[in-house]
Amino acid sequence: MKKSNVIIYFIAIVTIGSAGFYFIGRPEWSIFDSIYMTIITLATVGYGEVQPMDKVAKIWAILVIIFGVSGVGAILRVFGRELIQFEKYKKRAVMNKLNEITDHFIICGYGRMGSVIINEFSEKKLNFLVIEKDPKKAEKLTNEGILCINSDATDEDTLKLANFKNALGAAVVLDNDRDNLFVTLSIRTYSPSIHIISRCAREENKNKFLRAGANRVINPYISGGHKMAEILYNPKLEDSVSIKTPEVPNLDLDVNEFSMRNLSQFIGYKVSKLNLQENYGIDIVGIINKDGNYIIKPDNDVTLKNDDIIILMGEAEKFTSFEKELTI
């Protein structure tokens, strides 16, 4: 039965049923009472009669139930089929997008790290998809217009759906090292050339991830702990990033942000007058003003203002002497 026919049938039952109750029960029954009696009869909720009913009214109620409940059932069946068809349509739409997507990034896991990556990629308007097994999280992402596969990333069939062969890179940020290690190995087996970054909670597992095929391994606790230690040790530091790499063991660079309000002795100075490289072995690589505008590699004639934030880069050892001299 067509949806339009079912709706017409239901409206007709309500109209005829209400008219019958009204004419049988008048003058005691109002139009509202008649409609209400018809609705609760069709719904079979058992609230009781609105008004005392004689034999004729009871017979009419039986007829309404016989013809009406079947109509309600037909409506539920029709809308149930519509809902199923809609779900199938959504799945087909997702599958079509997955088949067409290329030069994309894949994020395995929508946890704390995954959400940060998603926000960054969304702001930069990059092409990406997410694999998340939690239905509520997956639904949230889908409602936000983010392409999401609601499945377990440790399932190899799921990884195939993500079209890894045409992807630029993958971030594996599941809840535990065991799953991250398995997914990293599976991705590398399936796509030898893809760039993989994996989350590692335990530092002793880092080499396992590298052997499994990860290009980079990130430990959020070490990264976050380092930043907290730097800012705790130097309260006037705005932000800090350390650059280290296993390929160059002696490389130990820091990129630090300082507010000029905490460097009052330099306010009004031109960049050329700071002599940071000569005196401390560090360089000023950027300036952010109060409006959020920034200058990369500022010219020597740029004057530093009270509301500026300067970005300095140099070896960690050089920063130590710089901070001591300034009593920062």
Q: Which two tokens stand for residue 275?
A: 């002599």
What CATH architecture does domain 223-325 belong to? Answer: 2-Layer Sandwich (3.30)
CATH, range 3-96: 1.10.287.70
pTM, rounded to two decimals: 0.57
Q: Which CATH number fits domain 101-218: 3.50.50.60, 3.30.70.250, 3.40.50.720, 3.90.420.10?
A: 3.40.50.720
| Residue located via tokens 């932000």 | 239
DSSP letters for 245-293: ETTEEEEEEEEEEEEGGG-GGGTT-BHHHH-HHHHHSEEEEEEE-TTS-
99-127 pLDDT, tens digit each? 677 888 999 999 889 999 999 999 888 98
DSSP letters for 137-191: HHHHHHHTT--EE-S-TTSHHHHHHTTGGGEEEEEE--SSHHHHHHHHHHHHHH-
155-194 pLDDT, tens digit each? 888 887 888 788 889 999 998 999 999 999 999 988 888 9
Where, residue-wise, is CATH 3.40.50.720 in the chain?
101-218
Where, residue-wise, is CATH 3.30.70.1450 in the chain?
223-325
Where, residue-wise, is CATH 1.10.287.70 in the chain?
3-96
pLDDT exceeds 90 at position 243: no
Q: DSSP label at 203?
A: G
pLDDT at 130: 92
